[in-house]
Each structure stands twice: as C-alpha cells, then as structure tokens.
Chain A
Amino acid sequence: MKRLLEGSQAVAEAVRLCRPQVVAAYPITPQTHIIERLAQHVADGELKAEFINAESEFGAASIVLGAVVGGARAFTATASQGLLLMTEVLYNIAGLRLPLVMVCANRAVGAPINIFSDHQDSMSVRDAGWIQLYVESNQEAADTLIQAYRIAEACELPVMVCMDGFLLTHTFEPVDLPAQVAVDNFLPPFHFSRTLDPARPMTLGGASEVDNYQEYRVAQHEALENASALIEAFDAEFGEQFARTCGGLVQGYCLDGAQTVLLGMGSLMGAVRDVVDKLRARGEAVGALRLRCFRPFPASALVRLLSGVQRIIVLEKAISIGAGGIVAAELRAALQQAGTPVEGVVGGLGGRDLTPDVIEKIFQEVTPDEGGNTLRFASTHVSPDSKKEVDNG
C-alpha cells in the first residue's frame, strides 16, 4: 500500500525496517527530519535501537564506526558542512572496511552558506572510499537504503545514499514501504567479521608503513570496483522480491538510436526524462542516462551504453573549483578511446531550479566547441555578460 511520505520520512521508515541497533546523528538541515523521525520511533519503542545524540558530525561518524566494530548495525545521516566535518572519519571507516550506511541529504557547501540542494558535499568526499548511490525519488531513497545495508554488509564497505536535500527530503510523494518480513528476508541479520570481542582479540587500525600501506590502498580500490557486480545483483534481487528496481549502476532512457544523451544524477532526472519525451515527440534523437552509482565509477557500463552516441552532455550539480565538472571529466576519461565528445554543464548550485525549460535549452544550445572541455553554467537568470551561460530567458 502506498503512503504519502516526505523523502525524509520514507528513508527513516526504511531505516526502521532495516533494524539498526545504533543510530547516531547531529542536526543539520536538510537532514534533520530523518533523525527526528527515527528518534520518535525509538521513543515509541517501534525501533529498538540506541539513539545517540552526538556532539558533532565528527562525533556521529565516530560513534557509528564504534557501533559497527562493537557488532551492531548502525545508521547516521548528515549533509553539507556536516559531511565535510566527518571527512577524516569517512576515510577511516572506509579504510577499516566497515559495513556502514549513511544518508547524505545533498546540500551546497559554504561559503557563502546555503542550505539548499546541490551535490557539492558528497562529490567532495568521492575519494574517501565509500560506495555512493544517488537516488531519484522518495521510493528509491527507501529502496536504496535497504539495498545499501545488503551491499555494505556483503562487501564490508560503507555506502552513502545521496538524496537531494529539500527536493526529496522535504517533498511528499507516494511511497510503497515494504513489509517488515519482506525486508527481513532480503536483509540477513547483521554480521561483521571483525567484531571486537575478548573471546577473539583482534587489533584494528594499527599502523602501516612503507612496506604495506600501498597494498592496503590497492585492496580497498579493488574491493570498491568488485562491489559493482553486487550493486547490480542486489538491485536485481530486490526487483524479483519487490517488483521494482533502482537502476543498478546506470539507468538509460530512450537510448535506442539516441544521438545526443544527457547524463545526470539524482532528482533532476525526472525533469530530464520529460524533456526527452518532448524532444523525441518532435523527432529529435535524444536520450538520457542516470548515473545511480557514482562510486565505484561504472566506466565500462557507461562506455557500453554510450557507444554509437554522437554527443554527450553531462549536467551536474557540483564543481571542482578550478577544474570544472567532475562527472564530465571522469566520463571523458572513460570515453577516451571512443572519442565521443562530452560537453560539461554545471548547474542547479545552491538549490537553483533546473526546470524543463532550462534542460531543453541545454539540449538545444550545448554543441561541441572548438577546444572541447569548455565548462558551461546552466542558469535561469539572464546574464548578458556570459556567453557561456545557457539560460531560459
């Protein structure tokens, strides 16, 4: 049965269904509704977990780290500044190969301080060693959260479920919440192979030096790459059990015969599909590709899906200041042999709307430029000074 749920509520209900034993968090907009609802569930006895109000996000990440090595399934959520404050611990969690799930309610990073949605926060920690899954809808947020625990615990890798702040966290959509028994069937009870236990003393997090540090890092990289197959497999298995999937690693739309494909992540892809429908109806050979899994970067799947495409536009809500689009750069590297031009557009920063009009303009106006690699900025504002801006007047 579908219920009308805010994205935060949907994801909190999914967390409850996964039966975490420790939830730790620190308040930050737009993540707070998630932990407020979980706190209420704990207060009402509907979720039997220790709810820990951390003294900072750095503390919250450290508490869930401790909870996992103590043998408990754990959950935390944050956004923006909070995610950056966690950064040191995020790397540590990944390096320790801990099965942990967190939600990043994607929000811009200051200065200037801005509470609205873009992907700068999670994109800034893309190298920390976490699996990153970007969801498109409230339903997917809930479903991906459940899959995330399965992935994390099978691979002993942390998973970050990235959902657009406000656009999803504060927006109501009909959501079909699975039954507890179905989730219990899909997600086995928590088990961590390196739980701290006096009956089996183990040293975790010891020093490593020149002779073996690099091997640890290589192993971590390989583990993340190997996770790709499981991310796809568990999405398929979820589909068999719940009759819906979340898009595996990448999800194509109207790719058959598409000459121009727009690639993006997160909630903006609904609008992109609408625009694709409109342009297709006018006979334009366009398609869309949603990158659900950004880490591990599904390079081979992208190359396969984009073969034969003449022009790729990447529309992304984050920027590597001084370099340009992040996804665009990685996609260019993946497509180096194919030689398909990749046009980078950065937009939607700090919550600016990427409306169908803006997206349509991007399809129509972004053409291969002479030097390649030119970064364009999508904007709903007229900016006569900037020839590089794509605006909707």
Chain B
Amino acid sequence: MDRRDPFRHNVLTSGHRACSGCGEAMAARMVSDLIGPDAIYINATGCLQVFTTHNQQSAWQAPWIHSVFANAAAVASGVEAALRAQRKKTPVVVQAGDGGTFDIGLQCLSGMIERGHDVLFVCYDNEAYMNTGVQRSSSTPHAVHTTTSPPGRVSQGKRHLKKDLISIIAAHNMPYAATATIAYFPDLKAKVEKAMGITGPRFLHLLSPCPLGWAHDSALSVSVSRLAVETGLFPLVELEHGELTGVMRLAEQKPVEAYLRPQGRFKHLFDSKEGGVELRHLQALADARIRRYGLLETDTQWDTHSAMQSARHGRGGYASPMSTVEALNSDA
C-alpha cells in the first residue's frame, strides 16, 4: 500500500460526509491529489473541515490542521516560518471557503501574501455560507437568493456585487494567482502544478458549486461550473506579479440564462419585471468580464453599457433603478 499513489489512495479519501454532488469535495480531492500527501494542509472552518473530520475520524491522509475560521492564512504563515527555521522544504497549503477567504479570512490572507510566505492558498468558492445554511457572503453574486438575502416584495436577493477578489489578491503583486473550476481539469491541473513550482505566496480561486445552496440537481455540479465559464461570469485567468498572463478564451459566449436557469437561487429573477432588470445586469456583468479579460475574439454581442449604467446610487451592485425601489417602498 503506497499512500503516495493517487490512483489507489486519495489524499482526501472516500467516506467523508459531503453532500452528493459537492463541488468543494471534488475540487479538494483534485487539488490535494495533484499536490500529494507530502504537504501540510491548513483548513479554515467550513464545510470542508466539517465533512472531513468528525469525532476522531479524519478523511485526510496528509498532515492537516484546522484552527479557527479566520486564521488559516496566519496559521499557514506560522507553519511555513517554522519549516523555514528548521530548513525543511515541505509545501504548505491552505484550504478555505469563500467566507474564510473573501470575508473573515481576508485580513490574515492579505498579511500572509504581503509578508511573502511560501504558501499556496486555495479558495473553494461556493458563493455563500453553505455550512451554516446558505447565508450571503461578499462572494455571493448580486441578486442571488440566500437565507440572509431573500427576495421579497421590494428586493431581488443580494443587493451588492460579488467582490472582485482575484483583483484584490493580484494587487499584492504576488507571484501567482489564478482562477479555475472542476469542469476544466487539465486547466486546473496545469495551474496547481504551476503554482507548486513557484516559491512565495500563491492563490487559486476555484468556483465550487453547492447543489444545496445553489439549488441545482446534484448531478449538474460539473455542468454548472462549465456554464459559469462559458457565459463569462467566471473567467479562467492567471495573474503573475499583478499582471494578467493567461486567460482561457471562449469559442462563443453563452447567455447567462443558460447558467442561471438550472439554479434555484436565481429562480425569482425569472418571475417578475424587477427580476428581469437583474437578469440584464447579470448579463452585463458577464459581458464586462469578457471585455476586461479579452475572452472573445470579437466584442460581445450583449449590451454591456446600458445595464452597467443602471442607477446604483452607491448601493453596490444592485441594479434595480431607484425609482422602482422607491415606488415599491411607497406602496408599503
């Protein structure tokens, strides 16, 4: 039995307690098998920690630690410093969800990158606090239905834009930052391998569908991941020292509706006039990302400009014209 043989022994073994179709479980298995068991894994609090460790059981075949929610990057900084002091070369890998990366963990992550620790930070982004019951995070796309951003009579889900984290990370001028998904394994593999060949802070942002929180069929996790890329909502990019050095181009752009329709978290947008405004805005956001990263040979056919100009009045990403919101409020 060679635990180093990924064909027989995964670093994240079967028998854990993830939901069927869990995008994060698939992503974590892929990433950890690509890195292998000769690394130290630091996990933030979240689904991955909960479903892989339970009452003295563990699904990890590599050294692994969980401390608290916000501090995974700082713990990794300390582990890496200890290894450096002992002249050991063991790779250090952080795994965190979007809450542990975009929100509560961002300060420690920024510190880790700024200090140049030789750590790979992997964010499995399922765009909400799934472990606690699908609450909104700063990674949740605008207009999404979560339990703390429910659509109602006067609002259409989350009122603010998804935080542009990869740009924030890249602004640290760090060696390597990239986005990837489970739907494009060769791309993911190339990025993990590239990241592991670089010294210094590295960041991988993996979109990881959550059938429970996104309310899609659990068989569709890979398809939904692919559609996020094909619509331009989740561009696959690489940034080195703050500069864009790689994008996965699209043969054609699919309308965002193809991505949104299978997901219950966007269902309310298809039921009302106000929802239609949000759909146009989500399309505009996809268009803007396609333009920004040059994902198409030709310019997008969609009307980027008008939807991006919708009256936000400093309210972040919520696209409903203020007049609509005010009219609904005055009814009440």
Using CB atoms and an 8 Å cutoff, list the residues of chain A in contact with chain B. 21-22, 24, 48-50, 52-56, 58-72, 74, 88-89, 92, 96, 196-198, 200-209, 211-212
Contact = CB atoms under 8 A, between A and B. Distances in A.
A308 to B, nearest CB: 47
Contacts of B198: none
B71 A59 contact: yes
Contact of A201 (B57, B61, B71): B61
Contact of A197 (B63, B68, B114): B63
Nearest to A66: B78
Contact of B107 (A55, A68, A70, A207): A55
B96 to A, nearest CB: 13
Nearest to A211: B55
Contact of A206 (B40, B56, B74, B84): B56
Nearest to A197: B63
A67 B81 contact: yes
Contact of B78 (A74, A209, A211): A74
Contacts of A66: 42, 65, 67, 74-82
A201 to B, nearest CB: 5
A22 B85 contact: yes
B329 interface: no
Nearest to A196: B63
A59 B55 CA distance: 28
Contacts of B54: 206-207, 209
A236 B90 CA distance: 40
Select the residue from B65, B74, B115 with max chain A CB neighbours within 10 A. B74
A61 to B, nearest CB: 8
A146 B94 CA distance: 33
B247 interface: no
Contacts of B77: 24, 52, 59, 62-63, 66
A206 B79 contact: no
Nearest to B3: A201
Nearest to A212: B55
Given A49-B85, A54-B111, A70-B80, 13 more contacts: A24-B77, A56-B107, A58-B74, A59-B108, A59-B111, A66-B77, A70-B78, A72-B85, A197-B63, A201-B62, A201-B63, A203-B65, A207-B53
Contact of A202 (B37, B63, B86): B63
Closest 8 CB pairs of A and B: A66-B78, A70-B82, A206-B53, A55-B111, A62-B74, A72-B82, A62-B71, A203-B58
8 contacts: A22-B82, A69-B79, A70-B40, A70-B86, A71-B88, A203-B58, A207-B49, A212-B55
A198 B66 contact: no
B53 A63 contact: no
B38 interface: yes
B86 A72 contact: yes
Interface in B187-214: none
A63 to B, nearest CB: 4
Given A65-B75, A198-B40, A203-B60, A208 B55 contact: yes
Given A70-B40, A72-B82, A54 B55 contact: no
Contact of A67 (B39, B61, B70, B78): B78
Contacts of B37: 198, 201
Given A55-B110, A62-B75, A70-B80, A196 B40 contact: yes
B293 interface: no
Contacts of A55: 74, 107-108, 110-111, 114
Given A69-B79, A72-B82, A72-B86, A205 B50 contact: no
A63 B77 CA distance: 6
Contact of A52 (B42, B53, B115): B115
B67 A65 contact: yes
Interface in B88-118: 88, 90, 107-108, 110-111, 114-115
Contacts of B75: 62-63, 65-66, 69
A374 B53 CA distance: 49
A200 to B, nearest CB: 8
Contact of B50 (A59, A74, A207, A211): A207
B311 interface: no
Nearest to A69: B65
A52 B56 contact: no
B40 A204 contact: no
B86 A21 contact: yes
B90 A198 contact: yes
Contacts of A197: 63, 90
Given A53-B115, A62-B74, A206-B54, A89 B82 contact: no
Nearest to A95: B67
B113 to A, nearest CB: 10
Contacts of A88: 68, 70
B67 A89 contact: yes
Contacts of A59: 71, 74, 77, 107-108, 111
A203 B85 contact: no
B121 to A, nearest CB: 13
A48 B87 CA distance: 12
A92 B78 CA distance: 15
